[in-house]
A and B are shown apart, each in its own frame.
Chain A
Amino acid sequence: MFLLQVLYIFIPMLAAIFVPFIYKSIKNIHTGWFVLAVPATLAIIYATYIARVAQGEVFYDGIPWIPSLDISIVSYLDGLSLLFSLLITGIGSLVVLYSIFYLDKHKEKLHNFYVYLLLFMTAMLGVVQSDHLISLYFFWELTSISSFLLIGYWYTRDASRFGALKSMMITVFGGLMMLGGFILLYLMGGTYSIRELIAMAPNLVQHPLFTWALVLLLLGAFTKSAQFPFYIWLPDAMEAPTPVSAYLHSATMVKAGIYLVARFTPIYAASELWVWLVTGIGLLTLFWGSFFAVKQTDLKGILAFSTVSQLGLIMSLLGAGAVAFHVNGAADSVFKYAAFAAIFHLINHATFKGSLFMIAGIIDHETGTRDIRKLGGLMSIMPLSFTVAAIGSFSMAGLPPFNGFLSKEMFLTAMLALQNFEFFGFDTWGVLFPIVAWIASIFTFIYSFYFVFRTFTGKYKPELYTHKPHEAPIGMLISPMILASLVVIIFFIPNIIGDTFVKPAVQAIQPFLYDLPEDINIHVAAWHGGLTPELIMTIGIVIIGVLLFVGLPKWQGIYNLFPRALTLNNAYDKAMYGLDVGLNRVSRLYMTGSMRHYLLYMFSAIAVISIGTLFAKDAFSLSFEGAAPIRSYQLILIVVLIIGTAITIFAKSRLTAIIGLGSVGYTVALFFVMFNAPDLALTQLVIETISVALFLLAFYHLPKLGKREERMRFQLNRAVISIAVGVMVTLIALSAHSQKLVPTISKYYEETVYSLAGGGNIVNVILVDYRGFDTLFEITVLGIAGMAILAMIKLRMNRKEKSHENK
C-alpha cells in the first residue's frame, strides 16, 4: 500500500484526463458526480494513515525523476503533511459536491472547471507531501498555474482576467524567490531533502547564505499566503466561481505558505530574523486585513479580507512557536501553545471559512447580488443558510460554543506570553503584540457581525434582487452544513482533534522539542476555571465589538479618510502601468527605427569595448622589430590613398565620391603590386573597374525627385565615433603586429608547393589545392549573388499589384 503513496498525489491529475470525455459523452449527469469520487476516495485512503501517524510514525516513498541531477518526487507523510492532505481531499470533496449544485451543467464549461480543479488538487497534494525541494517547487508553481486558470474561469469577464493575472504575477514572483531560497538551501546543505536539511539545521545557521535563504523563502510563503503587503491579489481573486474561492482561497492554496513556514520552522527557528518577520508580518496582516474587512461591501470581499487577516493570525502564531526554540524547558513553556494554536486554528479556519464562502455563493446564487448594501432581511427566507452563516461568523468572531473561541483563547495566550519573553528585544516591543492582537480581534468581531447581520437581518428589499429569493436547494447546503457542524463539534471535542491531528503536526513543526506526539502535554479546555487574562480580553472584545458594531454608521466615515492614492492596490496598478509605459518609453528611446542610430550604437559599443579591453588588460604594445623597411615610393602611394579617401568623404557630389572610391581601389591594387601580390593586384584592378561601373549605374538611376547634390552635413557624433573606430583599428593592428606569438605556417606551402601539388604559383595552389573548399564556397557566393540580382530585377511585384492581389 505504501508503494503507491507517490501515485496518490497524481491520481487527480490522471483523473483529469478522463473528465472531458465524460463531459462530452454523458450529458445528462452532472460531471461533478464523477469527479467527486476522486477526492472522496483519496480522503478515505489518507484517513487510514491517521492512527499510525498519530503514534509518531512517518511514511516515506519516492520515485526518481531525474536521477542524474538527484531530483526525485518524494512523498513524505508526517503529521503536518497528513493534516494538509486530509484538508485538501476532505474539503475538496465538499467543494466538488457544492459545485455540482452551484454550476449549471448546461450553461457552464464543466470540463474546464473540473480539469483545473483536479490539476490543482494534485498540485496541492504534491506541495504538502514533497520532501524534495525541487519537486516541492514544481508542485508549487502548478498550484499557481491551476489557480490562475480557475480564477480566470469566466474568461469573458474583464475582472476575472485582471484578478487571474494579478494573482499570477504576485504568486509567481514569490514562487521564483522561493526557488532562489531553495537553491541556496541546497548550496548550504548539499541535499535537496527537507528532512536531511532539518537534521543538519544547527550547522546551517552559521552559513553566510542563511539570511538570504530565509528571506527568499519567506517571500514565497508571504506571497502565496497573502501576507502584507502581498495580500492584494486575494480580494481580486474573488472573481473566481465561489467553489473555487471556498477551496483555494480559504482552505488550501493560501495555506500553502503557512505550510511552508511550518515545514521550515525547524531549520529557521534558530534565527532572530525569522521570529521577528513571521510574527511581525503576521500580526500586521492580521490587523490590516481585519481593519479593512469592515470597509468592504461585497460579501466575498469581506471574506477575502477576513481570510487575509486569519492567515496573518496563523502566521504570527507560527512565529511565536519558533520562539520555543530559544527557551529553556520549552516543552513545558507557553510557546508550545503557539504552534499548537496555529495548527488548531488552521483546521478551524478551514471549516468556518469554507462554510462562509459557500453561504456567500448561495446568497449570490439565490438573490443575484453579493452587494451587502442591497442585501438584508433574508433570515426568514433562508433559515438554513442563516444558521450556517451565524455559526461560521460567530466562530470567526471567537465566540463560544464554536471552535474559533478555543483557538482565539490560545492565540491570546501566546501573544501575552511573547511580551514576557526576554530575548531579541521582545521585552520592550513585546507589549505591542497583545495590544495589536486584541484590537485586530475587535475588528474581526465587527466584520463577522457585519457579514451575518447585514445580510440576514434588517429590511427585506426584494425589489433590488434580480431573482426572487428563496432557500437554496438542499444539495447546495449539504457541504456548508457539514462544515458548520464540524465547527460546533470541534468545540466540544477539541482534544480528540488535538490528539489525532494537531499534536502530530506540532511534532513535525517543533521536532527539537518532542520525540513523539504524545509528549505534547496540551489539553485544550474551553473553561480554564477562572478569570484568566485571555477571558477578560475576550469579554472586552465582545463588549467593545458590540458597541462599535451598533455604532458602525457613525464611524464608518473614517475609511474615507484613508487616501485612495496610498492604497497598495493603487501602488500595484501604478507599478504595472509604470512598468508598461516606462519600458515602452525606454524601448522607444533607443528603438528609433533609424538605421543610422543603430549603427551608431553598434560602432560605439565596438570601439568602447575594444579600446577599453585593450587598456584594461594592458595589452597595447608597440614594437618596430621585424618591420619591413620604408621606401619613398610607398610613402607617395600612401599620400595618394589618403587624398583619394579624403575626396570620397568630403565630395560634394556623389559622382566625385564614386570616383574617389575608384581611385582608392586602384591605389590598393598598386599596394598589392608593391607588396609582392601580383594575383591580388590583377583581381583588384578588374573588380574595382566592375564595381565602379556598377556604382555609376546606381548613380545614374537616382530618382530625380528630392535629389540633393549638396555636401554631406558635418555631424559631431558621427565624426567622434568614426575617429574612435579608426583609432581602435590602428591600436589593434599595432598591438597585433608587435606581439607575434607563433611563426607563419607558410614555409610548409613554400616547400611543398611543387613537390606535392606540382605548381609554382603558391597563392593559386593554395586557392585550388590546399584550401580548395574556400574557393568552392566563394564561387557559390558569387553564384548566389548573381541569381539574387537576377531575381530582384526579374521578379517584380510592386506594391499596387501586391495590394491588389491581397484583396
Chain B
Amino acid sequence: MEIIMAFVIGFLFMAAVYLILSKSLLRIIIGTGLLSHGAHLLILTMGGLTGEAPPVLKDGAKTFADPLPQALILTAIVISFGVTAFFLVLAYRSYQELETDDISLMRGSDEDE
C-alpha cells in the first residue's frame, strides 16, 4: 500500500506544482492546498500504514497506527489552514486594490519604492 501511496503523493505534488506555476493567484493558492494535502499524506505514509486500530487505548487491539505522525499532521493541518486563510484574504485584498489576479501583471515598479 505504501508503494501505491508514494505514487499518489507524487501525483498530488505534480498537480500542485503545475498549479503553483500558473498565472492566476487563486490557482496558486489552490496549488498550495494540494501541496499540503500531499505533504500530510506523505507524513502519514512514511509513518507506516500497517496499524490495525486507531491509536486509542481500548481492549482487544494488538497494533495501533503510529500516533506520532498523526499528531504531527494535526499540527500541520492547523498551521496550513491558518496560512491558507491568510493568503486567501491577502488575495482578496489584492483583488480589491489592484483589480487583477494575474500575477504576471503584479510587478513592482520603481515608482512604488
Using CB atoms and an 8 Å cutoff, list the residues of chain A in contact with chain B: 593-596, 599-600, 603, 622, 624, 626-631, 634-635, 638, 641-642, 645-646, 648-649, 654, 657-658, 661, 664-665, 668, 671-672, 675-680, 683-684, 687, 690-691, 694-695, 697-699, 701-703, 705-706, 712, 715, 718-719, 721-723, 725-730, 733-734, 736-737, 744-746, 749-750, 753-754, 760-763, 766-767, 771, 774-775, 778, 781-782, 784-786, 788-789, 792-793, 798-799
Contacts and interface: CB of A to CB of B under 8 A. Distances in A.
Interface string B79-111: 101111110111111011101111110111000
B19 A649 contact: yes
A760 B58 contact: yes
A622 B6 CA distance: 11
Given A691-B85, A694-B84, A763-B55, A718 B12 contact: no
Given A705-B99, A746-B66, A753-B57, A648 B71 contact: no
A645 B34 contact: yes
Contacts of A760: 56-58
A733 B39 CA distance: 11
15 contacts: A594-B104, A595-B103, A599-B20, A627-B2, A641-B12, A658-B26, A661-B33, A675-B51, A677-B44, A680-B70, A695-B29, A703-B95, A729-B9, A749-B67, A774-B72
Place the interface of chain B in its size category.
35 or more
A683 B2 CA distance: 23
Given A657-B30, A729-B42, A762-B55, 8 more contacts: A626-B50, A627-B3, A641-B12, A649-B18, A705-B100, A737-B6, A760-B56, A774-B71
A792 B4 CA distance: 43
B67 A762 contact: yes
Interface of B: 1-24, 26-27, 29-30, 33-34, 37-38, 40-42, 44-58, 64-68, 70-75, 77-79, 81-86, 88-93, 95-97, 99-104, 106-108
B15 A782 contact: no
A622 B2 CA distance: 11
Nearest to A759: B57
B55 A684 contact: no
B18, B29, B52 — most chain A CB neighbours (10 Å): B18
A593 B49 contact: no
Contact of B8 (A596, A638, A722, A799): A638
A684 B81 CA distance: 10
A767 B71 contact: yes
Given A648-B15, A661-B30, A785-B82, A677 B49 contact: no
A648 B37 CA distance: 13
A539 B61 CA distance: 114
Q: Which 10 pairs, one residue from A and one from B, show the smallest C-beta to C-beta distance?
A: A726-B14, A730-B10, A785-B82, A676-B65, A722-B17, A733-B6, A722-B18, A762-B67, A628-B49, A762-B55
Contact of B77 (A626, A680, A744, A793): A680
Given A599-B20, A628-B49, A648-B34, A695 B6 contact: no
Contacts of A683: 74, 77-78
Nearest to A654: B26
A646 B14 CA distance: 11
A676 B55 contact: yes
B10 A726 contact: yes
A594 B105 CA distance: 9
Contacts of B77: 680, 683-684, 687
B44 A792 contact: no
Contacts of B106: 595
A745 B68 contact: yes
A679 B34 contact: no
Contacts of B65: 675-677
Nearest to A715: B21
Contacts of A734: 3, 6
Nearest to B25: A698
A727 B3 CA distance: 13
A726 B11 contact: yes
Nearest to A595: B103
Nearest to A657: B30
A691 B12 CA distance: 18
B21 A603 contact: yes
Contacts of A646: 15
Contacts of A654: 24, 26-27
A517 to B, nearest CB: 67
A762 B57 contact: yes
B63 to A, nearest CB: 9
Among A638, A703, A726, A799, residue most surrounded by chain B Cβ atoms (within 10 Å): A726
Nearest to A761: B56
A676 B52 contact: yes
Given A595-B103, A680-B73, A766 B68 contact: yes
B66 A744 contact: yes
Nearest to A787: B86
B27 to A, nearest CB: 6
A668 B43 CA distance: 13
A784 B81 CA distance: 12
Contacts of A761: 55-57
A694 B55 contact: no
